[in-house]
Amino acid sequence: MKRREFFKYTAPAAILPSFINGFSVKAFGASPLLSALQGAATDNDHVLVMIQMTGGNDGLNMVIPLDKYSGYVNARSNIAIAEGRVLPLVNVKKAGLHPSMTKLQSLYNEGKVCVVQSVGYPSPNFSHFRATDIWLTGSDANDVITTGWGGRYLQTEYPNYPVGFPNAEMPDPLAIQIGSIVSPAFQGPVTNTGMAITSTSSFYDLLEGKEDDVPNTKAGKELKYIRMIAKQSNKYADSIKLAAGKVTSQGPYSNTSISQQLKIVARLIAGGLKTRLYMVSIGGFDTHASQTNSGDTSTGAHANLLGNLSNAISEFMADLKGHKVSQRVIGMTFSEFGRRIKSNGSMGTDHGAAAPMILFGDYINPGVLGNTPDMPGQANVNDNVPMQYDFRSVYASLLEQWFCIKKAALDEVMMKDYQQLPLVNSLACSTVTNIPDVNQNAGKNLISNYPNPFVARTIISYETSGGHTLIQIFDTMGRLLATPLDKVMTAGKYTIDFDATILPTGIYYARFQNGMVQQVRSMMKVK
């Protein structure tokens, strides 16, 4: 029986109710995304580690826009990072990193990091809960869906879930989350594939088979019974113990939550676990107030968070390299939204729209993807970072370029044909992707408008290389107002008469997308 057919007529089972190093661990055997990965065109042992930055990260103070620094300072003078403190990046003049991210700077300069600028989605939602749901399910802003961003693939490929897993081909959980939040990203189309963890056993207690004593009471007996049932349903404990037991030493890690979570992930990967997807989290990014210290804006709450994140990623990569498994792994950071361009009076920032993502790993194509965000001359409280890249384009690119999913399956998984970005070295799937350098048109205006400023109408000019071409109009809140163009074009230069009569005066953004290439240009309507 072929490998693909084998998986099609079997299905994952679900749970690992245990604590590792004090962190709850959830094993998702039937994650839709992971089911998609098992049906990939190419067999590989690739792993994706997702780091969720909960609360809404201030991307402008993480990746500082050096080429638009004066506008950045004018918009947030009370929290702006001093230009001389910004960490430079090799061969990059337009942006630098927060001063606390020295370890990530070193990884970038080694060619192991890609920064993707201004990642978001049309008409962003500013609720933590709804925005997180959108990012984890891959839905549009106005759609509520009940599966994770890989669930659609499972629906067609694994109709017999949950029978048949674990098995000799895949004895390990397909996805593991460390922490207390059950991610909708792993939600199957029929049933929840994970279970909440309430035990407080440590990792070493798990390896040694220890568990806390229960009181000799009726409640204690009930607890003992619940634990027994959990053990019976825990089909992955043995494989977790086996993998962890193979690793007797690890590199040094900081004593922070995010470092200790990644230490567990590194141990399981180094121990040979076949798990394809891991999720960890670091909280505290909802920085409405006291984001920085008043005497030194490079220090404070946000600096501590970014420093902990930077150190953890560096420690994780060093540990993987020491165990000679770093080439198996790509990692990415994401947050439910960014923050506003203008800071508030409490030395903080409020809920915003787009923000940068960081991807890291041996096979990542290094660099800064995209331009630094436009900084309005006189920023107001409603100004948001305009979206350059849809977050689902990042997902789609990783699925195709790292997990080697075929295009037909990818379109089912993501529900739409999203833009491919050059994130992963083409050798990862042993194929040539033919994805062009999306920065090759830097300095060339692919979209413009005249007159600008304009009163009621303006002519939008654009140049397409052919194929699918998209033009979207956004306001400063990130809301999608119009889509003047969305179709397959022949290569050439074109114009569109855009009627903005009904729009109020103000700043707008025209976003152009053509295949792998995109540009964002500001437009101003006046009276």
- What are the phi and psi torsion angles at 178 (to 5°)? -110, 125
Last residue of a domain, one of 403, 429, 455: 429
Cα(223)–Cα(216) distance, integer angstroms: 10
pLDDT in tens, 385-423: 999 999 999 999 998 999 888 888 788 788 889 999 999
Q: Where are the beta strands (DSSP E) in 29-83?
A: 47-53, 63-65
Place of tokens 């979209």: 447
Structural domain includes residue 439: no
Query: Rounded to whole angstroms, how far apart are CA atoms 90 and 492?
Result: 35
Residues 356, 312 within the same domain: yes
- Mean pLDDT calculated for residue range 282-294: 96
Give me the pLDDT at residue 404, please: 85
In a domain, residue 440? The reply is: no
Check residues 285 and 431 and name the one with the higher pLDDT.
285
Highest mean pLDDT among 19-33, 65-79, 153-167: 65-79
**In the chain, pLDDT over 90 holds for what percent of residues?**
54
Residue 441 lies in a domain: no
Distance, C-alpha 323 to centroid of its chain? 25
Q: Which of 40, 97, 65, 42 is nearest to 405 (CA)?
A: 40
Per-residue pLDDT, 362: 96
Indicate whether 496 pLDDT > 90. Answer: yes
Do the strands 389-390 and 113-120 form a parallel or antiparallel pair, or are they unpaired?
A: parallel
| Highest mean pLDDT pick, 89-98, 128-137, 216-225, 238-247 | 89-98
Spatial neighbors of 453 by CB under 8 A, at least 6 apart, are 523, 524, 525, 526
Helix (H) or strand (E) holding 493: strand 492-499
Q: What pLDDT score does 477 carry?
A: 85
Which of 429, 462, 484 corresponds to the end of one domain? 429
Give the confidence band of 131 by pLDDT, cuts at 50, 70, 90: very high
Q: What is the pLDDT of residues 296-334, one digit of tens each?
A: 999 999 999 999 999 999 999 999 999 999 999 999 999
Cα gap 510→386, rounded to integer Å = 9
- At 485 the pLDDT is 93
Residues 281 and 384 in one domain: yes
- Tokens for 446? 């692919």
Judgement on whether residues 407 and 465 belong to the same structural domain of the protein = no
Domain boundary among 379, 398, 429: 429
Q: Are residues 349 and 453 in the same domain?
A: no
Which of helix, strand or coil describes residue 74?
helix
- Looking at residue 12, its pLDDT comes to 36
Q: Are residues 145 and 234 in the same domain?
A: yes
Whether 437 maps to a domain, the answer reads no
The 10s digit of each residue's pLDDT in 207-219 is 556 556 667 776 7
The fraction of the chain above a pLDDT of 70, given in percent, is 75
- At 67-98, the pLDDT tens digits run 999 999 999 999 999 999 999 999 999 999 99
Which secondary structure element, helix H or strand E, spans residue 137, and what is its range? helix 128-137
Does residue 442 form part of some domain?
no
Same domain, 45 and 164: yes
- 420 and 456 in a common domain: no
- Residue 254 counted as domain residue: yes
pTM: 0.82
- List the alpha helices (DSSP H) in 402-472: 407-414
Contacts of 162 (CB under 8 A, 6+ apart): 11, 12, 13, 14, 29, 30, 191, 193
The answer on 503 and 404 residing in a single domain is no
Rounded (10°) CA dihedral 391, 392, 394, 400: 180
- Is residue 280 assigned to a domain? yes
Amino acid (1-letter code) at residue 269? I
Mean pLDDT, residues 34-51? 66
State how many domains the chain has: 2
User: In sequence order, what DSSP letters do the residues of 177-191 get, joined into one string?
Assistant: EESSPPPGGG--SSS
In this predicted structure, the answer to whether residue 186 has a pLDDT above a threshold of 90 is no
| Residues 138 and 255 both lie in one domain | yes
For residue 276, the model assigns a pLDDT of 81
258 and 305 in a single domain? The answer is yes
CB atoms within 10 A of CB 236: 25
Position 40 confidence tier, pLDDT thresholds 50, 70, 90: very low
Confidence of residue 516 (pLDDT cuts 50, 70, 90): confident
Query: What totals of helices (H) and strands (E) does the chain contain, helices first?
Result: 14, 20
Q: 3-state DSSP call for residue 9?
A: coil
Average pLDDT of 228-239?
59
Domain range spanning residue 514? 447-525
Instruction: For residues 349 and 475, state if they share a domain.
Output: no
Contacts of 78 (CB under 8 A, 6+ apart): 292, 294, 297, 343, 345, 347
**Please, are residues 8 and 39 in contact by the beta-carbon 8 Å criterion?**
yes
pLDDT at 284 over 70: yes
Identify the pLDDT of residue 153.
35
Average pLDDT, the chain: 81
In a domain, 91, yes or no: yes
Tens digits of per-residue pLDDT, 335-360? 999 999 999 999 999 999 999 999 99
Confidence of residue 3 (pLDDT cuts 50, 70, 90): very low
The CATH code of the domain that includes 512 is 2.60.40.2550
Q: Mark 46-57 as b/e (b = at least 16 C-beta within 10 Å).
A: bbbbbbbbbbbb
Same domain, 228 and 358: yes
